[in-house]
Amino acid sequence: MSLKTFSRGGVHPPEHKLSAGSKIIELPPPEVAVIPVSQHLGAPAKVLVNRGDQVKVGQLIAESSGFVSTNIHSSVSGKVLKVDQFMDSSGYRKMAVQIQVEGDQWIETIDRSDDLVRNSVLPAEDIRKKILEAGIVGLGGATFPSHVKLMVPQGKTAECLIINGVECEPYLTADHALMMERTEELFSGIQLLMKGLGVEKAIVGIENNKPDAIERMKDITKGSNVSVQGLKVKYPQGGEKQLVKAILKREVPSGGLPIDVGVVVFNVGTAHAVYEAVMKNRPLIDRVVTVTGKGLEKPSNFLVRVGTPVSSLIEKTGGLPEQTAKVINGGPMMGKALSTLDVPVVKGSSGILLVDENEARRKEVKPCIRCTKCVTVCPMGLEPYLLMTLSEKSLFERMEPEKVMDCIECGSCSYTCPCSRPLLDYIRLGKAEVGKIMRARKAV
């Protein structure tokens, strides 16, 4: 088996996959769930329930409010306590529905049996409709509504579906666990996505630090038009543009999407959710979350209802270790520290990482020594040191021609900088400002 990888940039952070091999543990619903109405990219969903309403698991509580938006379902059954602003992982209070959990009643249409349903007779259009209804978003972390991705814009054709099982972020093992334990369902989900998209070919990309997952997927997909591609370990291979380059050697143009080169990329978690939605009528109400960290007693993969507070997840792994300095939502490279543990798990939470003082502390920032390490590792071929300087000096209009909007925020530059400069922080600021400039120009 030849191993492929993307050609430009990349880093090799230590893997620390502490929870690898641990089974997915299904957690009971929390006592009180807080379900934000904006768990996806795009417009927040419109709340449909009021204070005091009784809801069931799987009931629609907020509906899609635009093209790039999606539905939100209750992940628990009980009484709506409040529809108000609650702190979420963004660090700000956002609109959410708080539900007091009473029992675990599901709506009748959901098939809760473990029986595998294969061979769908649904036409492509119905598959897309079901995906929208189920509120499925990209579970790799970007939370882009999946039904939008399935609608190929006019003038473009999709030739190939890529399933992202790379999981290149250190520490995280949620996708790995899913590939090991829900292989059949995943395979069925991939076939549904292929049908929904109208493509004949699908490739699953998996890094070769997960040989068991590669093996398992190969066994299952044997004889079908889904193939498995092992990949050399390199961060950020899970970025969709990097993955397309690694597998198909096609370069997504600047400012473009994979569909510009005839490819659509979905995460394995998304494919699994698609199976659940289409075959079992089960909306996206839970997801696999890795809770990990060196100080934890037993780092694990949990199947968690959306809306469960992060604090209760940490309790399930043996409690918050005393030396914890930061709790990060996501992986160590792209994740963001939480300012409080009373935030809910959302559709995009792939992991909760606890780091101690030693790992967490940022080193003293020293002046740039022009070593160009950041330029070498940037997988998008940008010049992070320049972008940071421009952003520091508020020269945002000069950042646009430097292609700041192509930055995928992988953090390779900040990781590699010998002077511990906060490159990505400033580039993100620049991206936000350039975005504003571009929108203002569009509006004129």
Contact positions vs other proteins (CB under 8 A): 85, 87, 90-93, 326, 336-337, 339-340, 360-362, 422, 425-426, 428-429, 432
Pairing mode of beta strands 60-63, 72-73: antiparallel
CA distance 312 to 306: 13
For other proteins, give the closer residue by CB, 231 or 423.
423
The distance of closest approach from Cβ of residue 426 to other proteins in the complex, given in angstroms and rounded to an integer, is 6
The two structure tokens encoding residue 209? 């630090």
**Greatest CA span in the chain, whole angstroms?**
63
CA distance 363 to 361: 6
Residues 122, 216, 286, 58, CA torsion sign: positive
The distance of closest approach from Cβ of residue 103 to other proteins in the complex, given in angstroms and rounded to an integer, is 30
For other proteins, give the closer residue by CB, 214 or 338.
338
The distance of closest approach from Cβ of residue 374 to other proteins in the complex, given in angstroms and rounded to an integer, is 15
For other proteins, give the closer residue by CB, 34 or 101.
34
Helix (H, G, I), strand (E, B), or coil: what is residue 240? helix
For other proteins, give the closer residue by CB, 36 or 78.
36
The distance of closest approach from Cβ of residue 338 to other proteins in the complex, given in angstroms and rounded to an integer, is 9
Helices (H) and strands (E) in the chain, counts: 13, 17
| Residue that has been written with the tokens 């394995």 in this structure | 268
The distance of closest approach from Cβ of residue 417 to other proteins in the complex, given in angstroms and rounded to an integer, is 12
Query: What's at 241, amino acid-wise?
Result: K
CA distance 325 to 88: 19
Helix (H, G, I), strand (E, B), or coil: what is residue 262? coil
The distance of closest approach from Cβ of residue 60 to other proteins in the complex, given in angstroms and rounded to an integer, is 27
Pairing mode of beta strands 336-337, 324-329: antiparallel
For other proteins, give the closer residue by CB, 300 or 412.
412
